[in-house]
């Protein structure tokens, strides 16, 4: 058995996935209803599904949205009433390259990122490429210095925070400051509470 078994996952209706997969496979336009995080009411739209990808425990489709006249990444678990249309489209190879590079949510990016990893996590961090173009250098004290040419900003912040202080951003300074503010908020929210005396 092959099981995706890490992290929270979003429930996905197999029948919905089957129609979306057919639209991607056969390069046919898809009509659907979709609600974003900020919209309370779903809207109907026609899309061309250029790529399917798994991120943060959920399946997404990278689509050209004919309603918005722009590219979007749609969470498959938020899609309702998918319907195959007769119109066909050609896949955009530039979009496929963008998906492979990992910046699929239209996040703002930061350039020339340098981080340093503590010796206690250096082996773990060195085992994979975290962002495209990664360069690594092991330092004399056992720590690891990594550099990235360009990284989606929110994903960089989440990644650093997830390692609980064992990864330090050296550059750029504004990302370092954002992480400092986030860490302060975490510390305030998780300050020890006074214990209620037992009766």
For 133, the token pair is 């173009």
Nearest to 145 by CA among 166, 172, 174, 114: 114
pLDDT in tens, 59-94: 999 999 999 999 999 999 999 999 999 999 999 998
How many helices (DSSP H) and strands (DSSP E) are in the chain? 5, 9
Whether 133 has a pLDDT exceeding 80, the answer reads yes
CA distances from 183 to 9, 190, 195, 198 (A): 25, 10, 24, 32
């Amino acid at each position: 058995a092959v099981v995706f078994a890490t992290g929270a996952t979003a429930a996905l209706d197999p029948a919905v996935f089957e129609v979306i997969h057919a639209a991607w496979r056969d390069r046919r336009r898809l009509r659907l209803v979709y609600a974003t995080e900020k919209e309370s009411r779903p809207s109907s739209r026609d899309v061309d599904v250029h790529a399917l990808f798994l991120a943060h425990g959920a399946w997404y489709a990278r689509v050209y949205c004919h309603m918005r006249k722009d590219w979007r990444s749609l969470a498959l678990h938020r899609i309702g009433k998918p319907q195959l249309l007769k119109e066909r489209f050609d896949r955009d190879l530039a979009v496929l390259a963008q998906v492979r590079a990992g910046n699929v949510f239209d996040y703002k990016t930061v350039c020339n990122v340098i981080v340093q990893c503590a010796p206690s996590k250096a082996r773990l961090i060195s085992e994979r490429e975290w962002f495209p173009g990664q360069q690594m250098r092991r330092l004399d004290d056992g720590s690891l210095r990594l550099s990235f040419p360009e990284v989606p900003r929110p994903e960089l912040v989440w990644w650093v925070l997830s390692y609980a202080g064992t990864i330090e951003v050296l550059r750029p300074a504004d990302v370092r400051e954002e992480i400092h503010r986030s860490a302060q908020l975490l510390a305030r929210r998780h300050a020890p509470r006074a214990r209620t005396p037992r009766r």
